[in-house]
Amino acid sequence: MKKMKTTSKLLFITVLAGLMLFNNSCQKDLLEQDPTVDLFADAFWKTEDDATFALMGAYGDIRYLFDRDYFFDGNGEYFKARGQTLSKTILRNGMAYSTPYSWSPTGYGSQHDIYFKSMYLGVIRANYVIANVEKMLPEAKPSSIANLEAIIGEARLLRGMIYFRLISMWGDVPYIDFVPTRPEEAAGFSRMPIAEVKDKIMADFTYAFEKLPVATPKVGRAAKPAALAFRGKLQLYWACWNKFGWPELNGFTPDAIAADAAYKAAAEDFKKVINDYSLTLFRNGEPGNIDALGKAEILPNYYYLFTPIANGDKEMIMAFNHGLTGTFQGEELMRDFAGRTMEGSQAWVTPRFEIADRYQSIITGDFADPLIPMNPTTNPNARTTANSAVNPQSYANRDYRMKSTILWDYEMTLALFQKKENGWSPWIYRVYNTPVTIDGVVYRSYNTDGSNSGYVFRKFVRNTPGHDRSNGNFAWPVMRLADVYLMYAEASNEAYGPQADAISLVNKVRHRGNLPPLAAAKISSKANFFDAIEQERIVELIGEGHRNFDLRRWRAIERVWGLPGGSGKRHYDTYGIPNDLYYQNANELTYQRAYIYKIPGDEINRNPNMTQNTPWQ
């Protein structure tokens, strides 16, 4: 057994527990087949079907580490996560997402101990597949070699994704690339420097790219474009850390030359993804049609991108599958993004008031006048005043992604109850579950106890009956083409300044919102083009878990929330009522702890060689 110098006794306990549970976690197809073979039996690893069977189990469990990424948006300024469902705290086979109530813009760096440990369960699941399929290769039939190597490639991609997430949050981390069987093999070692871990991740992504097929064999599995996109993303993050620095990570020294090389390498990988695999945006990136204000029978294409209609679409470069009722693998998107009107959902996540001003005018292609919060219970003109946040007309002629993403006052949604349609329901902030008359028709208003902003989500909320709140079958996008377009634009802009092909790709993303191309001023300099790219990342990717990681890699937390010791930033609702306040009089340590996460305390206590990140010492 090969020994590594990179983990602790507690991590050994964690990963060994993962192995003990692994034989209960495999599915023949990602969705609903239960295993019938003991993975630890010597006779198991004989055929391609056996190897595929084990790989599906790894997918089925590792999925849980990424398919609730939307909660990370709660660490940013446009998305509120008021908690999380129990099923996201303790998941099957020991996989857990995080500790509860850790998704505010401050204080989150100490709240992910369970997630840290669950990541290593995922690592061991991947390692187990890699190690055993590698043993099959010497005696495999020549006709089986390519498929077995592709299975190893998928497992290495999954392992690389986990380590990428680990270094993005904790910097230097223990590295395990074997399956420990005895405590002495995995006890008392130290964290590996981030540069070394990064190189190992690069090796995993490169192997996966070389061995995976050009196209995915089925929805939920990876192919070459996924490996290449993740390799480009890793290089983009490495470039950012070297450009902007990571002072909270002890021993890390930024390097401008390394940053430049990494930006160029990232751009090259993204360009290949874009040009070499005939990938297209959902419905060719066309905006589709849109209904009038206050109606929702016709919704833009962007809305349908986040429904099961898009499962298997070419835009979804990599997605994690979900099953339906009875599979124990359904997604919780309805429950988390919708309110009580939608199958008794709980609106654990909601848009903040500030996101509305980010949706630009389809006429000018630029920002509209800021919305003005007004309270209709004290101001009789609030619903008719120009630019009032509670006047539905204030939302006219906006980016189509706005109607696809959020509900504002008097916007309709199709209510769902007991897996059946329950009529149209208008969202009216603070007027919940109440009969209201609109144009002579009586409706029951949208009911929720979740929003404190004036908005709720339409994005990720199904408008079709047949499923309860926790058993949807949407394949969660782990990597999609629009993100690659924007990452390519960012990387090439940093390396070369605004480039024609990058500008064209950003305009393609804008086009799905029915926005005109970027004005000349928006592409006149590297800084201006970066601002345009960031704008698109905000509205295109909201609720997909990117904003927190973007702010941290760009060293932009102070830009968003103000400098240490300042007044911070208070959020308001559409009525002008103040609610959440963040970073007020916050000291420098508070910001440092937002840039890097705390190594779990029990890891430190059990292993004297495990060090703590500097802001948490």
| Model pLDDT for residues 435-465, shown as the tens digit of each residue | 999 999 999 999 998 999 999 999 999 999 9
Tokens of 26: 């495999």
Tokens of 575: 């009525």
Dist. CA 91–CA 120, nearest whole Å:
15
State the alpha helices, DSSP H only, in 277-395: 301-304, 333-337
Nearest in space to 550 (alpha carbons), one of 75, 195, 198, 66: 75
Mean pLDDT of 105-125: 91
Query: Phi/psi at 261 (nearest 5 deg)?
Result: -65, -40
Over 70: is that where the pLDDT of 600 sits? yes
Over 60: is that where the pLDDT of 232 sits? yes
| Model pLDDT for residues 180-225, shown as the tens digit of each residue | 777 666 666 789 999 999 999 999 999 999 999 999 888 899 999 9
Contact 95, 65 (CB under 8 A): yes
Host H or E run for residue 443: strand 441-444
Q: Which residue has the higher pLDDT, 32 or 373?
A: 373
SS3 assignment, position 420? strand
Tokens of 357: 């001003």
Query: Phi/psi at 588 (nearest 5 deg)?
Result: -60, -35
What value does the CA radius of gyration of the chain take, rounded to a whole number of Å? 24
Over 90: is that where the pLDDT of 26 sits? no
Query: Phi/psi at 504 (nearest 5 deg)?
Result: -60, -40
The DSSP-derived string for 162-192 is HHHHHHHHHSSB----S---SGGGSSS--PB
Residue 616 C-alpha from the chain's centroid: 26
| pLDDT score, position 189 | 74
Instruction: Provide CB contacts within 8 A for 359, sequence distance 6+.
Output: 368, 398, 399, 401, 402, 513, 539
| pLDDT score, position 218 | 87
- How would residue 111 be classed by pLDDT, with cut points 50, 70 and 90? confident
The DSSP-derived string for 16-79 is HHHHHHHTTS--SSSSSPPP-S-TTSTTSTTSHHHHHHHHHHHHHHHGGGTTTGGGGGGGSSSE
Instruction: Provide CB contacts within 8 A for 114, sequence distance 6+.
Output: 89, 96, 97, 98, 99
- End-to-end distance of the chain based on CA atoms, in angstroms? 35
Query: Phi/psi at 302 (nearest 5 deg)?
Result: -60, -35
- How would residue 247 be classed by pLDDT, with cut points 50, 70 and 90? very high
CA-to-CA separations, 521 to 518, 531, 533, in angstroms, rounded: 8, 11, 13
Nearest in space to 490 (alpha carbons), one of 434, 550, 422: 550
Token pair 């340590």 is found at: 589
Mean pLDDT of 230-245: 98
Tokens of 322: 């979900």
| Model pLDDT for residues 36-67, shown as the tens digit of each residue | 333 444 456 889 999 999 999 999 889 989 98
| pLDDT score, position 524 | 98
Tokens of 383: 């619903």
SS3 assignment, position 212? coil
Contact 288, 300 (CB under 8 A): yes
Tokens of 454: 């004036």
Task: Enumerate the β-bridge partners of residue 444.
Answer: 435
Token pair 């948006």 is found at: 73
Burial of residue 256 (CB within 10 Å: 0-12, 13-18, 19+) is exposed
Over 70: is that where the pLDDT of 5 sits? no
- To the nearest whole number, what is the mean pLDDT of the chain? 90
Contact 595, 284 (CB under 8 A): no
Over 90: is that where the pLDDT of 570 sits? yes
Over 70: is that where the pLDDT of 343 sits? yes
Dist. CA 139–CA 245, nearest whole Å:
48
Mean pLDDT of 10-24: 48
Burial of residue 36 (CB within 10 Å: 0-12, 13-18, 19+) is exposed
| pLDDT score, position 608 | 86
Host H or E run for residue 272: helix 256-276
| pLDDT score, position 4 | 35
Please report, rounded to a whole number, the percentage of residues in the chain having pLDDT higher than 90.
Answer: 79
| pLDDT score, position 30 | 29
| Model pLDDT for residues 457-498, shown as the tens digit of each residue | 999 999 999 989 988 899 999 999 999 999 999 999 999 999
- How would residue 433 be classed by pLDDT, with cut points 50, 70 and 90? very high
Mean pLDDT of 377-382: 97
